[in-house]
Amino acid sequence: MIFRSVREWDYLKVAEGGGDDAISRVAADSLIATARALRIGGEDGETILVNGHKRLRAQQIVGVLASPSVTLEILPKIDGLDTGATRHRLVQMLARVFDLDIASGSMADLGWQQHDLLEVLIRLFCDRLFEAVHRGLPRRYIALEDDLAALRGRLNVKRQFTVLVPTPQKIACNYEDLNVDFPLNQIMKAAVMRLLRISRAAENQRRLTELGFAFADVSTVPVAVLPWDRVVLDRTNSAWATLLNLAKLLLGERFQTTSSGDSRGFSLMFEMNTLFEEFIGRTLRRALDGTDLDVRLQGPRNHALIGDDLTGRFATRPDIVVSRKGRPVLIIDTKWKRLKGQIDDPKRGVGQADVYQMMAYAQVYQCNRLMLLYPHHNEIDAKAGILSSYRISGTLDTRLSVASITLSEFASLGNRLKKLVLGNSVEAKAPSYAA
C-alpha cells in the first residue's frame, strides 16, 4: 500500500512508474474513482481532487482518501508548521469541534511524523479504550425472561399456567441481570471491528485485536443500525463520553466507504470552511466564558426581506454572533481563504459578495460591529489581528473589520480571539480604502 501526504491546494505528481514523491497513473485513477463514488466528492470527485495529466491537485477538503492501491492524506495549509505539527493541529481542531476531551499528555507520543491522520485517530481511540476497559466494561441491568429450575426475580404467571403447564419442573421467571451486551458496548465493538479492517499500522492492528477479545460477549451490530439513541451516559459511565464521541467520528457520515466497479475504498474527510468556522466559534465561546458576552454559532436565523404577507424571504444565518443580554454586538463570518498582501491587492482579496453579506447582517440584526476573519499566513504584509477597518457607507458608526488569526500558536488562540472581540488586540492597521 502506497502512502502519500499533500497540503490543500498543493499538487501530487503522477508519473508512469510512480516514485518517492509521485504515484503511478493507475494509482491516481483509483483515487479519482474512489473520490467520485463518495457523496462528498461530487460528480467528478473534483471537490476532493482535480485530475490532471501529470498531477493531481488537492482541494479544500482535508483528511484521508484511500483506494485499494494508495492512501492519500490531505492536510490543511498552515504556515509555520511541518507535516507532523500540521497533523497535530488538525487533530486539536477536530477535538475541539467534536467534543473530544483529549489531554495533551495522551497526544505526546502518537507518531505524528510516521502515521497519517486516520492512524493517529485510531491510536487515540485504542489508547482511551484500553484505559477504560482496564477499569472494567460498563454493565447494565438488563430485563430478561427465562424458564429456570428455581424462581428468580418474579414469576411470569401467564406463561407459567399456559405454556409451561406440561412442564411443571420449569418456572417462568422475569428478572434482571448485570450484562455487558447493551448499546454503549455494542457501539464500541462496532468501532473496534471496523477499524481493525482498515488500519494498516501494525501496532494499531495488535491493539484492536486485543480489544476485540475484551468485547467478545457483546453482540455484533451492523453500523447502519447501531443504537445511538439508546445510549445513556450517567455518573457510572461518564468517562466513556469522549470514547463515544470518537466512535461517532470514526463510524459517522464523514467516514464513507465505497465500492464502485474495481474501486473499493474509504474516506474520512472534513470541509475546511466548516471546520474552521466551528473551531473558531467553539474556541471563542470558551474564551468568553465568565464574561457578560454570549457566543452563538450558526444563528440566530432571520430573513433579509419580509413580504407584504409578513412571510420572511432570503434566510440569513451568520457564522458567529456575539451578544450581550440578547443584543448582537459583533457578527463574525469566518473564511478559510488565503488573503493577499495589500501591495498585490488593496482589498486583500476580500470578496465583494462577502462584504454585501456582512452589510445585510448589519441591517437585519441591527449590529454595528462586523468582522471577516481569515487564517493568517506569511504572505500577509502585516501582523495577525485587525488588518483593515471600514465604515459602511450611509452609516455613522457601523464598521466592518478584516482580521486574521494565527493557527500555528494553539495555546494562546483563545486569548487572541478574546482580544479581537473586546477590541483590545494589537492592531496592525492598514489605511482604510473604499470598498
Query: 383 and 412, same structural domain?
Result: yes
Q: Which residues touch 412 (CB under 8 Å, ≥6 apart)?
A: none
292 inside domain: yes
Closest CA to 86 of 375, 419, 297: 375
What's the helix, strand, coil split of the chain in %, to 5?
Answer: 35, 25, 40
Total count of domains within the chain: 3
Query: 212 and 82, same structural domain?
Result: yes
**Residue 81 CB coordination number (10 Å):** 17
CA distance 33 to 57: 15
Helix or strand (DSSP H, E) at 186? helix 183-198
24 inside domain: yes
CA distance 332 to 320: 5
Strand partners of residue 382: none
Query: 381 and 296, same structural domain?
Result: yes
Query: 223 and 119, same structural domain?
Result: yes
Residue 373's SS3 state is strand
Query: What is the CATH number for 364?
Result: 3.40.1350
CA distance 170 to 108: 58
Q: What is the CA radius of gyration of the chain?
A: 27
36 inside domain: yes
CA distance 58 to 47: 9
**Residue 317 CB coordination number (10 Å):** 12
Query: 402 and 307, same structural domain?
Result: yes
Per-residue pLDDT of the chain (435 residues; tens, 9 = 90+): 789 999 999 999 998 877 778 899 999 999 998 888 888 877 778 899 999 989 999 999 999 999 888 999 999 999 889 999 999 999 999 999 999 887 666 666 677 777 889 999 999 999 999 999 998 888 888 888 999 999 988 999 999 999 999 998 999 999 888 888 889 999 999 999 999 999 988 999 999 999 999 999 999 999 999 999 999 888 878 889 999 999 999 998 777 777 655 557 888 999 999 999 999 999 999 999 999 999 999 878 888 878 877 787 888 889 999 999 989 999 999 999 988 877 777 888 898 999 999 999 999 999 999 999 999 988 888 888 999 999 998 888 999 999 999 998 888 999 999 999 887 433 333 333 333
The DSSP 8-state label assigned to residue 19 in this structure reads: B
The DSSP 8-state label assigned to residue 229 in this structure reads: G
Final residue belonging to a domain, choices 271, 301, 319: 271
* Alpha carbon separation from 100 to 95, 103, 233, 387 (Å, rounded): 4, 9, 15, 33
CA distance 217 to 201: 26
Give pLDDT, residue 432.
36
Final residue belonging to a domain, choices 215, 246, 271: 271
Query: 226 and 150, same structural domain?
Result: no
Query: 149 and 120, same structural domain?
Result: no
Q: What's the domain range around 151?
A: 140-179
Query: 68 and 107, same structural domain?
Result: yes
282 inside domain: no
432 inside domain: no
Closest CA to 3 of 31, 36, 29: 31
CA distance 121 to 127: 10
**Helices and strands per DSSP (H, E), number in the chain:** 10, 20
C-alpha cell at 291: 464574561
Final residue belonging to a domain, choices 215, 240, 271: 271
CA distance 128 to 103: 11
Query: 203 and 171, same structural domain?
Result: no
295 inside domain: yes
Q: Under a CB-based contact definition with an 8 Å cutoff, are residues 176 and 153 in contact?
A: yes
283 inside domain: no
Query: 267 and 219, same structural domain?
Result: yes
* Alpha carbon separation from 293 to 147, 256, 329 (Å, rounded): 61, 38, 9
CA distance 61 to 191: 24
157: left (phi > 0), else alpha (psi -120 to 50), else beta? alpha
C-alpha cell at 319: 457564522
339 inside domain: yes
Query: 230 and 98, same structural domain?
Result: yes
Query: 25 and 92, same structural domain?
Result: yes
Q: Under a CB-based contact definition with an 8 Å cutoff, are residues 74 and 7 in contact?
A: yes
**Residue 80 CB coordination number (10 Å):** 13
